[in-house]
Structure 1
Amino acid sequence: MKYLYLLFCLLSLPLYGQSYHFASINFLIEQEVGRIVITEVYKRLGINITITPLPGKRAQHETAVGLNDGEIMRIYSYGEETPSTIRVPTSYYYLETMVFSKKGSGVNIKTPADLARYQVVKVRGVKHTDNITKGLKDITDTDNTSQMFKLIQAGLADIALTNKMDGLVVLKKLGITDITPQTQHLDKLPLYHYIRKEHINLIKRVDNKLKEMKKSGELAKLITIAEHEVFKRKALYKMQN
């Protein structure tokens, strides 16, 4: 009985140095920036995390059923669609929903309603482009941003939808110069970290750390470092291939 009592006491102690596992969406530039940023935020809290890049729908499913502890970066509506998670209230990045098209194509899109006139291509499972094309019929999903632009080059689509930074980096990596973004984005959305509800205390700690880093300017510096690292990595990949 004595040993059982000691074992019970040990199991009742709080766990220090606990690790968490999160998902990100694969092949998107903003998610790569997010992986660097959110890892550093947790590091400053003394917490180890691992991040697995997955297709968007699979990442959401695995989070919803508890196969991981949350997602590193999603838009606001993700929280409404995934009730097993809680949105960390402080956003830490943003994305711009941007139209990309071939030079000289005559594409001119001012509002989301204008998308209905064109053959649209987007990456599967990405919430901001899913939301903005909801109800449209002429939509093609791809696995990644590179595939989108190759379809436009081949004349199989009129426009591609993605985050502006993601599109520009991938176009540069592919060496494509005849596809460009429109002058104005269709939407600009803050991005949030999502954590499963059972980790309520973790949510508060991460939010407090993000607020602290925003106020001190550390978050902005960290984002700049992360963006430069991702751009450098993509440039190196292009030279090696």
Structure 2
Amino acid sequence: MRIIKYAAVFIFLFPGIVFAHNVMEFTTIEKSSYAVIAERVLKEAYGRLGIDIRVSGRPAQRAIHDANSGAVDGELYRIKDVHLKYPNLMMVPVPVGIMEGVGITTRSDLSMQGWEDLSVPGVCIRNGVKFAEKGVGNRQVTVVNSNNQLFSMLGKQRCSVIVIARLTSIPLTLEFAKRHKTSLYQSVLQVYPLYHYLHKKNASLVPRLAKVLLEMETEGRIQAIREAYIAELYAQT
């Protein structure tokens, strides 16, 4: 009984020691380049708190559903305000990265500064990519089922502009330029900050993690992790 009492006092005085032996699990969108960056950022951030993390890639809808249900500890990353639709999730208010929605074309005469410039015929997007669907709005566009199809359509001149996330596009643009011996022109249409979400059962961690992420942001660590990964993508192709 005395040993149990001492153990309880020790846990009360040193709660971080208990966390150090825990492993928190997060879902994420499978095969996502942005997940790679977010995982590297958050492994370092949680590591500074003495916490290990494990990440499980799943289809997008299942990942967010499992995070919201409490089956795991949260979602690795999503765009801002996802918690408005999934109320059991709490957004950590410091971005763990950014996603750039870009328009890519073979036409040097097209100038694209934002969604409003996609009034040209022949805009193509991928089915299920929410930022692209929202960005093009009610415009008449062609919808395909994969990123490879987007670039195939561009090469066959069936699309004048394709809309895709920048990191996702990197290996595909390099392969396209090599195959078709032509230049591609890329413009950022919108930048989306990406945030980490915790299930409400982990609410006490939100301010602690936000403080660490803010320190990493100030140090330039988050940007450095992103740039290192982008360099890896270019080196692999």
- AA paired with 1:150? S
Structure 1: gaps (5+ residues):
none
* Percent of paired sites with the same residue: 21
Change (3 A) 1:210 1:171: same
Take 1:77 and 1:130, find their aligned partners in 2: how far apart are those partners?
Answer: 18
**Selected match of 1:54 from 50, 58, 67:** 58
Take 2:62 and 2:125, find their aligned partners in 1: how far apart are those partners?
Answer: 17
The reply to whether residue 132 of structure 1 matches residue 120 of structure 2 is: no
Aligned counterpart, 2:48: 44
SS in 2 for 1:186: strand
The reply to whether residue 166 of structure 1 matches residue 168 of structure 2 is: yes
Take 1:207 and 1:201, find their aligned partners in 2: how far apart are those partners?
Answer: 11
Which deviates more from structure 2 when the two are superposed, residues 87-96 or residues 77-86?
Answer: 77-86
Which deviates more from structure 2 when the two are superposed, residues 208-217 or residues 50-59?
Answer: 50-59
Take 2:71 and 2:133, find their aligned partners in 1: how far apart are those partners?
Answer: 24
SS in 2 for 1:99: strand
- AA paired with 1:165? L
TM-score (norm: length of structure 2): 0.76
Q: What per-residue deviation string (whole Å, max 9, x for no partner) do you get for residues 208-233 of structure 1? A: 1101222233333333334334444x
- How far residue 195 of structure 1 moved from its aligned partner, in angstroms, is 1.6
Contact 2:114 2:190 (C-alpha < 8 Å) held by counterparts: no
Change (3 A) 1:123 1:32: farther
Aligned residues: 225
Aligned counterpart, 1:216: 219
The reply to whether residue 200 of structure 1 matches residue 203 of structure 2 is: yes
Aligned counterpart, 1:227: 230
Contact 2:33 2:168 (C-alpha < 8 Å) held by counterparts: yes
Take 1:220 and 1:192, find their aligned partners in 2: how far apart are those partners?
Answer: 14
Aligned counterpart, 1:84: 88
SS in 1 for 2:188: coil
- How far residue 165 of structure 1 moved from its aligned partner, in angstroms, is 3.5
Structure 2: gaps (5+ residues):
none
